[in-house]
Amino acid sequence: MRWVVYRGIPRIFPAATLTYGDIPKNTRIGHGLEKRHRVDARCISGHPNAMPPEITYCIKPVRGQNR
């Protein structure tokens, strides 16, 4: 299932690339950043030292039905 998705993404988004955990980890360590999801997203984007937003929204998923 995973590889079906991975192979289908470049067809829809030609600029998309696959990343692995070592890329954000090495960038994060090299820039002395903490381990957080939003920091990893900046590292993957290629701008680890970008200013983070002052407001962060936390979305809680809620089930529609409880059977």
Structure confidence at residue 31 (pLDDT): 92
Report the distance separating Cα 17 and Cα 44, nearest Å: 10
Distance of alpha carbon 33 from alpha carbon 14, whole angstroms: 30
Amino acid 62: pLDDT: 87
Distance CA 36, CA 16 (A): 22
Tens of pLDDT along 23-66?
889 999 999 999 988 888 888 888 999 888 888 888 888 888 87
pLDDT of residue 32: 93
Q: pTM value?
A: 0.60
Q: To 10 degrees, what angle do helices 22-31 and 37-45 make?
A: 100
Q: What is d(CA 33, CA 47) in angstroms, rounded to the nearest whole number?
A: 12
